[in-house]
């Protein structure tokens, strides 16, 4: 095989390989992403009923209640407009607490409770996840707009 | 006063960096010896002033000078001495100062160890490093000055984030930055080669040791970070495919491709432009990593509080670096291309395959990391990519890497016969296949592990046996252990470095395969006196007691672990509350072993009778992951001590006539 042909073969193999890999990767990606919803969106029924998604906001004060088995915890998450109740079984991260920003991943139950499989921990107490920060801002703007239009 | 000296030293260092970026570069084109000669003293000067700034910050921490905002936010009079030092890089401003210090140190090292390089090359390399330095010093002075004062002066500081008060994390960022910043040398060499139009085997030989040192630092830095996350976060995980982790993995993957591609450029003069592109790519990914970590655009479990103006600055800097270097590449690369020819069946081809696969993994990690940003920008919603996706992608590509690694190291440069390889490697292949089959037959595998575990074990054995076959071939004409030893200490160091690093890969594969498929995790509620079984070990809980630490209060649990009737370990997991920040921290307790770890972490108290919610883990072979990384690092270190990096550069000084006469 001549050098030129060889190089062409390599390039062709490379292009085909990258193409196949990219299409496989993208289709796998589509089934592996989880969307973020705020409590307001969940209460407005915008969140999927069956799929896993992420719910984030602030943990409502005095809402954390540990259940009888010692491992299940109930708490409520708010964006200062709406509130969603969350149930999680397992050990909570150290920085989890009332008034703190939190992101949870799980499914919405038929009873309107969000059953979390994962609660995200943060390294820094002053950190607010960007999604939570923006949903709080939206809820705040909506609240101001509502207050103004009612008058 | 001292913080102002530090601030002033930074400004002076910026001034020096500007001169260092301009005059030696201009001199290298106008053949002005004096201007080119300025490069080395300027690099030393820059190191001096940044070191002064660093010392000033160190002093502020030691003296508990809470009038400096950065000190007040990250230290406290009760902070233990050693963490008053590591607190310097515990947050954003100080870690940038560490970046700048390392950059200046690498620059000074290039100035010091480049006596054998042509002056115009040194001038250009140091000028490019000066430009990078300008970017970082400007960033620090404009958006994140570590010497900003705070008024009114608080009586007490906020203490270092408790998660960072740990020996593993005290040395993890410096190692990581050494690696990130080290790739700037490879980058500067690449830019200098493009500017000078000189891209040959000698160029590759100069930049190879630098790149390898950077790669070794990054390898060890990532391994340290993974080890730290494993024991400190209390989840027993060692890798989460988190954006911040991916940010360090991407330059590592590209850097791994780069050190292999540099080998081809040095030995055979091939892949020249590709090597240059990889060098640009690797450093750009280091910068992108810094951007992702520091801008807060991505949700990360490792995220720290961030500031959007910083993100904008780094983004602009990133665009200038990537855009500028790619433009230069497009303009100059055609002039320096061309190189050694090779057959389809040759070591070059296998190294090219290695490069393609590593680049593919890098791009996949990049895709998964940036997908949330892309979705957000396209208004498709706010998403996160689950770690199963990354795992699937990794498992889909890396087996090929291990497979070709075994063949590639055996193959000759330029041209080889498939029959010869089959003759040398058939035994290695048979042993690996037997190992895989034995794993499938004798290990208790479920339907989900039936494919992956034998594959992993088989590949690890293949990497081992194929390299042993390579070693046997190398030593065929040498007799005895002494001959091997002299080969190892003589000219063969880079070969043995490769061998050790590749065996590290085999070890790493075993570790990942075992811990991913056979680990156990139990979330339980236990009362004092209760026992729990996990993987044949019995954990007895004896209760929790209060204890006082230097800057924290602690609740300390006590466990006895039995295997059969024999007590094999006592574990003391803790739950700490730090006084200054009121932050709680879980300190897991681990009984580490070569073949398995036993790991207990406290959750929280339940009820009033002394019951606790806690987590028990059994982690088989988890140490092999980090031991593998250490072997890779050791291999890299051995390779750079190879004699040819010293003797060969000297040979370049031999007058042309003499060299011709000899050759």
Among candidates B428, B406, B439, which has minimal Cα distance to B518? B439
User: Same domain, yes or no, for A12 and A40?
Assistant: no
Among candidates B515, B365, B384, which has minimal Cα distance to B449? B515
Q: Is residue B195 part of a domain?
A: no
d(CA B263, CA A69): 60
Spatial neighbors of A89 by CB under 8 A, at least 6 apart, are A71, A72, A73, B523
pLDDT at site B654:
38
Q: Residue B140: which domain range?
A: 1-160
pLDDT at site B306:
56
Least confident of A61-65, B164-168, B478-482, B503-507: B478-482
Average pLDDT over residues B555-570: 93
Nearest to B303 among A18, A29, A127 (CB): A127
Q: Is residue B444 part of a domain?
A: no
Report whether pLDDT(B661) > 70: no
pTM: 0.90
Report the 10 Å Cβ neighbour count for B186: 28
- Categorise residue B163: left if φ over 0, alpha if ψ from -120 to 50, beta otherwise: alpha
Model confidence pLDDT, tens digit, residues B204-229: 988 999 999 999 999 999 999 999 88
Label residue B657 exposed, middle or buried (CB < 10 Å: 0-12, 13-18, 19+).
Answer: exposed
Cα angle: A99, vertex A103, A104; to 5 degrees: 115
Ranges of residues in chain A whose predicted pLDDT is under 70: 1-3, 121-130, 143-151
pLDDT at site B298:
65
Q: Is residue B5 part of a domain?
A: yes
Q: Is residue B31 part of a domain?
A: yes
Q: Is residue B15 part of a domain?
A: yes
A3:B388 CB<8 A:
no
Using only C-alpha atoms, chain A has a radius of gyration, in whole angstroms, of 22
Distance from the B347 Cα atom to the nearest Cα atom in chain A, whole angstroms: 15
The ipTM assigned to this model is 0.79
User: Hey, of A130, A132, A133, A137, which one would you mutate to test binding to chain B, going by the most B CBs within 10 A of its CB?
Assistant: A130
Task: Read off the pLDDT band of B465 (50, 70, 90).
Answer: very high
User: Same domain, yes or no, for A40 and A17?
Assistant: no
Angle formed by the axes of helices B272-295 and B201-232, nearest 10°? 30
Helices (DSSP H) in B144-200: which residue ranges? 167-196
Report whether pLDDT(B481) > 80: no
Q: Is residue B540 part of a domain?
A: yes
Distance from the B584 Cα atom to the nearest Cα atom in chain A, whole angstroms: 6
pLDDT at site A112:
87
- Chain A nearest-CA residue for B242: A120
User: Same domain, yes or no, for A17 and A49?
Assistant: no
Report whether pLDDT(B594) > 90: yes
Report the 10 Å Cβ neighbour count for A118: 16
Q: Residue A21: which domain range?
A: 1-33
Contact (CB, 8 A) for B525 and A70: yes
pLDDT at site B658:
39
User: Same domain, yes or no, for A77 and A131?
Assistant: yes
**Structure tokens that stand for B295 in this block:** 């801008």
d(CA B177, CA B658): 43
User: Same domain, yes or no, for A23 and A74?
Assistant: no
Chain A residues within 8 A of B344 when measuring between CB atoms: 1, 6, 9
pLDDT at site B650:
45
- Which uninterrupted H or E stretch holds A133? helix A130-150
For B382-400, the three-class secondary structure string (H helix, E strand, C coil) is CEEECHHHHHHHHHHHHHH
- Chain A nearest-CA residue for B381: A35
pLDDT, chain B, mean: 88
Label residue B110 exposed, middle or buried (CB < 10 Å: 0-12, 13-18, 19+).
Answer: buried
- Categorise residue B241: left if φ over 0, alpha if ψ from -120 to 50, beta otherwise: left
Phi, psi of B143 (to 5 degrees): -115, -20
Phi, psi of B287 (to 5 degrees): -65, -40
Look at residue B90 and give its three-state secondary structure: coil
Task: Read off the pLDDT band of B660 (50, 70, 90).
Answer: very low
pLDDT at site B651:
43
User: Hey, of A94, A117, A119, A131, which one would you mutate to test binding to chain B, going by the most B CBs within 10 A of its CB?
Assistant: A94
Residue A134 is part of a domain; what is its CATH number?
2.40.50.140
Look at residue B187 and give its three-state secondary structure: helix
- Interface A-B, measured as beta-carbon pairs within 8 A, has a size of 111
B299:A129 CB<8 A:
yes
């Amino acid at each position: 095989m001549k050098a030129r042909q060889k190089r062409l073969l390599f390039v062709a193999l490379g292009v085909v390989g990258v193409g196949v890999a990219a299409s496989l990767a993208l289709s796998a990606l589509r089934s592996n992403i989880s969307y973020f919803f705020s409590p307001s969106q969940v209460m407005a029924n915008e969140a999927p009923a069956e799929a896993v998604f992420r719910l984030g906001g602030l943990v409502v004060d005095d809402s954390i209640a540990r259940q009888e088995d010692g491992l299940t915890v109930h708490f409520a998450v708010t964006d200062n407009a709406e509130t969603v109740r969350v149930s999680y079984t397992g050990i909570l991260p150290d920085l989890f607490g009332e008034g703190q920003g939190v992101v949870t991943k799980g499914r919405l139950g038929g009873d309107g409770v969000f059953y979390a499989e994962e609660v995200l921990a943060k390294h820094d107490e002053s950190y607010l996840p960007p999604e939570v920060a923006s949903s709080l801002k939206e809820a705040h703007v909506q609240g101001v707009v509502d207050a103004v239009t009612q008058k | 006063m001292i913080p102002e000296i530090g601030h002033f030293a930074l400004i002076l260092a910026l001034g020096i960096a500007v001169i260092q970026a301009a005059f030696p570069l201009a001199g290298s084109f106008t053949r002005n010896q004096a201007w080119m000669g300025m490069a080395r003293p300027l690099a030393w000067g820059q190191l001096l002033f940044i070191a002064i700034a660093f010392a000033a910050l160190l002093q502020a921490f030691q003296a508990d000078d809470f009038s400096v905002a950065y000190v007040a936010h990250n230290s406290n009079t009760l902070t233990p001495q050693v963490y008053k030092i590591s607190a310097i890089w515990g947050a954003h401003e100080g870690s940038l100062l560490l970046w700048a210090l390392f950059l200046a140190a690498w620059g000074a090292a290039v100035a010091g160890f480049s006596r054998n390089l042509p002056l115009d090359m040194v001038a250009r390399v140091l000028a490019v490093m000066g430009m990078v330095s300008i970017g970082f010093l400007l960033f620090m002075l404009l958006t994140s000055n570590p010497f900003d004062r705070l008024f009114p002066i608080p009586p007490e500081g906020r203490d270092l984030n408790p998660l960072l008060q740990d020996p593993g994390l005290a040395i993890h960022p410096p190692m990581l930055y050494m690696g990130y910043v080290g790739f700037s040398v490879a980058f500067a060499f690449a830019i200098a080669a493009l500017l000078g139009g000189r891209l040959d085997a000698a160029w590759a030989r100069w930049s190879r040791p630098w790149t390898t040192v950077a790669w070794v630092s990054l390898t060890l830095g990532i391994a340290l970070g993974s080890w730290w996350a494993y024991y400190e976060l209390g989840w027993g995980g060692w890798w989460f495919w988190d954006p911040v982790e991916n940010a360090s993995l991407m330059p590592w993957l590209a850097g791994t491709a780069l050190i292999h591609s540099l080998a081809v450029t040095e030995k055979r003069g091939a892949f020249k432009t590709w090597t240059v592109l990889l060098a640009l790519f690797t450093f750009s990914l280091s910068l992108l990593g810094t951007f992702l970590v520091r801008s807060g655009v991505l949700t990360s479990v490792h995220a720290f509080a961030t500031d959007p103006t910083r993100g904008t600055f780094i983004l602009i800097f990133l665009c200038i670096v990537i855009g500028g270097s790619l433009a230069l590449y497009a303009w100059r690369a055609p002039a320096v291309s061309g190189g050694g020819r090779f057959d389809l069946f040759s070591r070059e081809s296998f190294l090219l395959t290695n490069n393609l696969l590593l680049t593919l993994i890098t791009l996949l990690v990049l895709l998964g990391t940036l997908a949330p940003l892309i979705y957000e920008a396209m208004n498709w919603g706010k998403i996160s990519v689950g770690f199963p996706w990354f795992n699937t992608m990794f498992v889909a590509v890396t087996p090929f890497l291990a497979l070709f690694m075994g063949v590639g190291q055996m193959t000759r440069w330029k041209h080889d016969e498939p029959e010869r390889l089959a003759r040398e490697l058939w035994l290695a292949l048979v042993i690996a296949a037997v190992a895989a089959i034995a794993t499938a037959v004798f290990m208790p595998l479920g339907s989900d592990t039936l494919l992956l575990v034998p594959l992993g074990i088989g590949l690890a054995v293949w990497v081992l046996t194929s390299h042993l076959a390579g070693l046997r071939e190398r030593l065929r004409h040498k007799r005895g252990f002494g001959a091997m030893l002299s080969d190892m200490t003589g000219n063969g160091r880079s070969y043995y470095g490769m061998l050790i690093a590749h065996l590290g890969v085999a070890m790493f594969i075993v570790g990942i395969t075992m811990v991913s498929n056979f680990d156990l995790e139990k979330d339980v509620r236990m009362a004092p006196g209760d026992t729990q079984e996990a993987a044949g070990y019995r954990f007895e809980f004896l209760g929790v007691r209060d204890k006082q630490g230097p800057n924290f209060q602690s609740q300390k649990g006590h466990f006895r672990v039995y295997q059969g009737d024999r007590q094999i370990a006592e574990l003391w997991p803790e739950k700490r509350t730090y006084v200054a920040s009121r932050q709680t921290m879980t300190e897991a307790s681990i009984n580490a072993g070569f073949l398995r770890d036993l790991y207990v972490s406290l959750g929280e108290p339940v009820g009033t009778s002394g019951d606790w919610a806690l987590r028990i883990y059994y982690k088989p072979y988890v140490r092999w992951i980090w031991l593998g990384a250490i072997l890779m690092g050791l291999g890299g270190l051995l390779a750079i001590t190879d004699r040819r990096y010293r003797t060969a550069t000297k040979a370049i000084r031999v007058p042309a006539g003499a060299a011709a006469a000899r050759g």
